[in-house]
Amino acid sequence: MRTVYNQRHAAHAATHEFFRGRLVPAFEVPARADYVLQAVQAAQFGEILNPVDHGLAPLERVHAPAYLRFIQGAHAEWLALGGEGDAFPAVWPVRSLRSDVEPASFAARMGLYSMDSGTPLTAGSWEASYWGAQAALTGLDLALGDEGRAYVLTRPPGHHAGADFFGGYCFINNAAVAAQAALDRGLSRVAILDVDYHHGNGTQAIFYERSDVFYASVHGDPRTEYPFFLGHADERGAGAGLGFNANVPLPSGSSNEAWFAALEEALAPLARYAPDLLIVSLGVDTYAHDPISHFKLDRLEFGQLGQRIAAFGAPRTLFLQEGGYATEAIGHNVVAVLRGFEERR
């Protein structure tokens, strides 16, 4: 299986993030991708390719153009106003406030276009995220070709980013961009299996009222885990999308047995859906020693996950890197998934 590596990822390098009202060292750091690259190289899975530029149009199929323009220029605006270092939002248009009018104030637009203060907007956030989406589109090219599969090594992650907001370390929703591009190239059914510890609220929201993309996720229960305000089991889609969304939340600290049972619950409706393409939002923050998450998967279980995805038997499979914060272990965990997949397919 070939890898597409977003070599511009390091342009997004936050030193700190807000946590419990304090700035703490950032978890989502460039070293994450460096470790995965080393592990993928050592595993000799095959060629490692650079992303091919597919332009802005495929991003605009998912994200509001005004949002993309904002992210593109936001850090320069922040500096021009005398801001130093990374930019953070501090005010949000919650219930009863209007979000249909774009304010002139930069601080207000930061809030309009975000969901949390835990996501530093850096000088290189746009560059890294733009090329991350290009990497996803290049991976899609491979998955739609003869090989039928690819792994996209990128950061920052994407699954929390909505059509017009950033958050949860995410700016551009790579899985959504790839899914929409696949439909635009003539596929009719795309499934997204999100195995990151955190619910992919952005991906779910983007496709919630549609039947052409089925979103299924196993994740930490939002009653206690980020992103808190989405990811409950009763969210099954709406309108034309009713029945095309499946959430399997699990309590923090759940056993591996419970996790694999939940995976089966998520895979069952996906199997009935019989997608032309399976996109895997591959977060490995389900790892037992992840510093911000609370499941218990380890090398053995990551291998079993890869095997199970292979046994699912989608005609095409695209793995996209999402979370995973036990920096030195991420590479080994990703390789375990990909190796399990390759063995079984």
Task: Quote the CA–CA distance of 139 and 1 in Å, as a whole number.
Answer: 11
Q: Which residues contact 280 (CB under 8 A, 6 or more apart)?
A: 192, 193, 194, 195, 309, 317, 318, 319, 320
Q: Which of 17, 141, 196, 235 binds Zn ion (CB under 5 A)?
A: 196
Q: Does 323 interact with Zn ion (rule: CB under 5 A)?
A: yes
- Among the listed residues 322, 326, 333, 341, the single contact to ligand OKP using CB under 6 A: 322
Site string for Zn ion, 249-288 (x = CB under 5 A): ----------------------------------x-x---
CA distance to 8, 9, 172, 343, per residue, from 130 (Å): 9, 9, 7, 33
Q: Compare residues 2 and 198 and give the one whose CB is closer to ligand OKP.
A: 198
Q: Is 290 in the site for Zn ion (CB under 5 A)?
A: no
Q: Number of helices and strands (H, E) in the chain? A: 10, 10
198 is a site residue for ligand OKP (CB under 6 A): yes
Neighbouring residues of 155: CB distance < 8 A, sequence distance ≥ 6: 6, 9, 12, 28, 30, 32, 33, 128, 132, 321
Complex with ligand OKP: residue 276 or 298, whichever CB lies closer: 298
The one-character DSSP state at 10 is G
* 11's tokens: 């342009």
Give the interface segment with Zn ion, choosing from 16-24, 121-129, 191-199, 306-314 (CB under 5 A): 191-199
Positions in 169-188 near ligand OKP (CB under 6 A):
169
Residue number of the CB atom closest to Zn ion: 323
Q: Using CB under 6 A, which of 7, 10, 16, 19 touches ligand OKP?
A: 19
Please give the residue ranges that form the binding site for ligand OKP (CB under 6 A). Answer: 19, 27, 118, 157, 160, 168-169, 196, 198, 226, 283, 285, 292, 322-323
